[in-house]
């Protein structure tokens, strides 16, 4: 019997599907318990996976799905053993190669670790573990496009239509698609033979417009210029309004292919259903004002129930059959076409543009690795993380300390907001509790077993950059007290060696000490002035020798060697004709 779960949430936050967090107490420092998914191994041969927790036949028909042998690995979906005839110790609900059923618990050995590698105590663990969750819970079960993860209308999927939604933000698929399009366009991926799976509904109007204005004008082509392509569309059963847009797309991308998903669903009924469980942000013209005022969606302020017209616009696939938005219908499985440079183009100008200090690995390479491990598009994963975490990150991506339901947590990461259910008092924190796997309570978890790297991640979370053993990105004349207040928001009381942040300033917390570089500041006072110009001249003349952070601060022209170009750059900065970037 298939497990049917009906879960909804607000914004673009992710749903906790398999693991439901429960608490043994709400008192401070209580132990967190969680129903987890575990890896199990079959400990015998010819072990039967059954559709029901019983050996009894029904109407003389066996319920055996398949037989497994010793060493076969299964996912134990619940540690609660279900009673049933033929197994005195109870039955485990398990999954094997996307087939779900029951195995007598006597034939399963639990290895005792979480199937998604929780707790997620570093960015890499969260990115890869979250990718496994997305793959196992959605992509492999019929929600294999960004569109289907939001609008589950696949009649042949594992879950009932309208159920098991990854997000409630009705605009999320188009937003993700546009982010991916930018990366595809920059890296020439739009020239690849891409494949798209596009839902078709019953009883659709000719057009559904977005209140105010549409995101884009969809080009339509009424004349047939490629009979073979037209035959393929007819064979798939695409209606004429779909075909008009697809002909125009085909003219630009003749090697793209399109598959029709006939949902059998009435479009108005589907739109009304998704409206009632959806969320939107952007203005009253998009909100349901039938009660006289907008209605908040979930527990996150700023997100409201959309009106029907807005929902219809985002639900109608025909509105997105253009380059900028069509990628929401592309399969989310991994591809060797997605290179590290492709992913990097998505992460540029975000807190993920460089190195994950805790993992000593670039974020771009982590997403590539996650895509390979979980068989998920690394481009999609990076786009999703950017949407969920924002360009500057926050407490879900820097391991900072927080309190939730009387329990103190720290050292946890959740880049996709998995488990951030809208029913929670604080969805983002609930997602971090899910990331703990029920293990982390008062502990501060990291690869070293302590809090030694929380300062670095909090600095990165505030938009500063770690480069060449120094932290950069500070504004000229930035106050140390301002930085202290920022860090205290993460539960960190840092010691800063000077009142104004300048080159050579040290920032210390517990066992961590980091040195600052302010480019162009060669004297360490946090400002760029004539004294710095003098220092540069003296270094070039050989009367002094800049070293360490001060030498790095002097390389303002090309970032490597120090020469007359750097001297000119400082002079131009003082004159106001060119500004030294701290980025």
Q: Which residue shows structure tokens 């036949």?
A: 57
β 195-202/257-266 pair status: parallel
> In this predicted structure, what is the pLDDT of residue 409?
80
> In this predicted structure, what is the pLDDT of residue 406?
64
> In this predicted structure, what is the pLDDT of residue 33?
28
Whole-angstrom Cα distance, residue 198 to residue 173?
A: 13
Whole-angstrom Cα distance, residue 530 to residue 41?
A: 70
Nearest to 134 by CA among 375, 483, 428, 372: 375
Residue 541: partners with Cβ closer than 8 Å, 6 or more residues away: none
Whole-angstrom Cα distance, residue 560 to residue 481?
A: 32
> In this predicted structure, what is the pLDDT of residue 127?
97
| Three-class DSSP category at 512 | strand
DSSP category for residue 138: T
DSSP category for residue 445: -
Q: Whole-model pTM above 0.95?
A: no
> In this predicted structure, what is the pLDDT of residue 491?
66
Structure tokens at 14: 């992710």
Q: Is 298 left (phi over 0), alpha (psi -120 to 50) or beta?
A: left
> In this predicted structure, what is the pLDDT of residue 461?
66
> In this predicted structure, what is the pLDDT of residue 446?
35
Please answer whether residues 327 and 180 qualify as being in contact, where contact means their C-beta atoms are separated by less than 8 angstroms: yes
Distances (CA, A) of 18 to 194, 380, 482, 568: 32, 22, 42, 60
Helices 227-236 and 240-252: crossing angle in degrees, nearest 10, is 140
Q: Strand (E) positions, 267-413?
A: 355-356, 361-362, 402-404, 407-409
Please answer whether residues 464 and 474 qualify as being in contact, where contact means their C-beta atoms are separated by less than 8 angstroms: yes
Nearest to 492 by CA among 465, 454, 464: 454
Please give the helix or strand (H or E) that residue 243 lies within, else none: helix 240-252
Q: Is 281 left (phi over 0), alpha (psi -120 to 50) or beta?
A: beta
DSSP category for residue 171: T
Please answer whether residues 495 and 486 qualify as being in contact, where contact means their C-beta atoms are separated by less than 8 angstroms: no
DSSP per residue, 401-444: -EEETTEEE-S---TT-TT--TTSSSHHHHHHHHHHTT--SS--
> In this predicted structure, what is the pLDDT of residue 170?
96
> In this predicted structure, what is the pLDDT of residue 99?
85
> In this predicted structure, what is the pLDDT of residue 240?
95
pLDDT per residue as tens, the chain (583 positions): 222 222 333 344 333 332 222 222 222 222 222 334 567 788 778 899 999 999 998 888 999 999 888 878 788 877 778 888 988 888 999 888 778 899 998 888 775 556 788 888 899 999 999 999 899 888 888 999 999 999 999 999 888 899 888 888 999 999 989 988 998 898 888 988 899 999 999 999 999 999 999 999 999 999 999 999 999 999 999 999 999 999 999 999 999 999 999 999 999 999 999 999 899 999 999 999 999 999 998 777 789 999 999 999 999 999 999 999 999 999 998 988 889 999 998 999 899 999 998 899 999 999 999 999 999 999 999 988 998 898 999 889 988 888 776 667 878 899 999 988 766 778 888 888 888 875 543 334 333 333 334 677 778 767 788 776 788 989 899 999 889 887 876 667 889 999 999 999 999 987 788 899 999 999 999 999 999 999 999 999 999 999 999 999 999 987 667 989 999 999 999 998 888 988 7
Domains annotated for the chain, with CATH where assigned, are: 37-114 (2.30.30.40), 143-329 (no CATH), 468-583 (1.10.1330.10)
Cα angle, residue 183 at apex, residues 180 and 184 outer, rounded to 5°: 85
Structure tokens at 477: 């004349």
374-386: b or e for each residue (b if 16 or more CB lie within 10 Å)?
bbbbbbbbbbbbb
Whole-angstrom Cα distance, residue 115 to residue 19?
A: 11
> In this predicted structure, what is the pLDDT of residue 35?
38
Diameter over CA atoms, the chain: 97
**Residues in the chain, how many?**
583
> In this predicted structure, what is the pLDDT of residue 443?
35
> In this predicted structure, what is the pLDDT of residue 488?
75
């Amino acid at each position: 019997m298939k497990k049917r779960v009906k879960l909804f949430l607000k914004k673009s936050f992710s749903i906790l599907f398999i693991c439901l967090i429960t608490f043994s107490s709400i008192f401070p420092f209580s132990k967190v318990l969680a129903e987890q998914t575990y890896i199990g191994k079959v400990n015998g041969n010819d072990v039967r996976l059954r559709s029901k927790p019983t050996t009894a036949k029904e109407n003389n028909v066996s319920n055996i799905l398949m037989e497994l042998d010793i060493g076969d690995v299964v996912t134990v979906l619940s540690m609660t053993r279900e009673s049933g005839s033929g197994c005195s110790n109870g039955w485990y609900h398990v999954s094997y190669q996307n087939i779900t059923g029951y195995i007598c618990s006597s034939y399963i050995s639990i290895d005792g670790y979480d199937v998604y590698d929780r707790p997620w105590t570093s960015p890499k663990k969260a990115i890869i573990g979250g990718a496994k969750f997305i793959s196992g819970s959605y992509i492999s079960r019929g929600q294999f496009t960004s569109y289907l993860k939001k609008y589950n209308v696949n009649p042949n999927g594992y879950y009932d239509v309208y159920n098991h939604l990854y997000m409630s933000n009705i605009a999320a698929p188009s937003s993700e698609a546009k982010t991916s399009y930018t990366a595809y366009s920059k890296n020439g991926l739009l020239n690849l033979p891409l494949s798209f799976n596009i839902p078709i509904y019953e009883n659709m109007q000719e057009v559904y417009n977005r209140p105010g204005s549409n995101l884009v004008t969809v080009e339509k082509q009424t004349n047939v210029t490629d009979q073979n392509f037209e035959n393929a569309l007819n064979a798939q059963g695409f209606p004429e309004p779909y075909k008009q847009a697809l002909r125009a797309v085909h003219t630009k991308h003749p090697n793209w292919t399109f598959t029709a998903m006939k949902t059998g669903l009435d479009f108005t009924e589907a739109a009304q259903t998704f409206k009632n469980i959806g969320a939107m942000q952007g203005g009253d013209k998009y909100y349901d004002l039938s009660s006289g005022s907008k209605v908040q969606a979930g527990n996150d302020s700023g997100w409201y129930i959309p009106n029907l017209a807005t929902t219809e616009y985002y639900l109608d696939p025909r509105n997105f059959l253009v380059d900028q938005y069509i990628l929401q219908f592309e399969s989310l499985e991994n591809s060797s076409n997605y290179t590290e440079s492709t992913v990097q183009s998505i992460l540029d100008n975000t807190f993920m543009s460089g190195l994950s200090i805790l993992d000593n690995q670039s974020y771009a390479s982590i997403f590539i690795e996650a895509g390979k491990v979980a068989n998920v598009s690394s481009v999609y994963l990076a786009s999703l993380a950017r949407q969920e975490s924002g360009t500057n990150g926050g407490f879900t991506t820097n391991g900072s300390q927080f309190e939730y339901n009387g329990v103190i947590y720290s050292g946890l990461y959740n880049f996709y907001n998995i488990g951030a259910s809208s029913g929670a008092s604080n969805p983002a924190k609930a997602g971090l509790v899910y990331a703990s796997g029920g293990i982390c309570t008062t502990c501060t978890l990291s690869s070293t077993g302590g809090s030694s790297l929380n300062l670095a991640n909090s600095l990165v979370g505030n938009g500063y950059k770690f480069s060449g053993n120094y932290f950069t990105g500070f504004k000229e004349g930035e106050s140390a007290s301002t930085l202290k207040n920022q860090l205290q928001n993460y539960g960190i009381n840092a010691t800063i060696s000077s009142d104004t942040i300048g080159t050579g300033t040290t920032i210390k917390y517990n066992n961590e000490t980091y040195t600052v570089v302010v480019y162009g500041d060669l004297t360490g006072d946090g400002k760029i002035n004539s004294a710095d110009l003098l220092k540069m001249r003296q270094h070039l003349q050989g009367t002094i020798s800049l070293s360490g952070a001060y030498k790095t601060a002097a390389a303002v022209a090309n970032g490597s060697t120090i020469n007359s170009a750097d001297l000119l750059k400082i002079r131009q900065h003082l004159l106001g004709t060119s500004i030294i970037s701290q980025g």
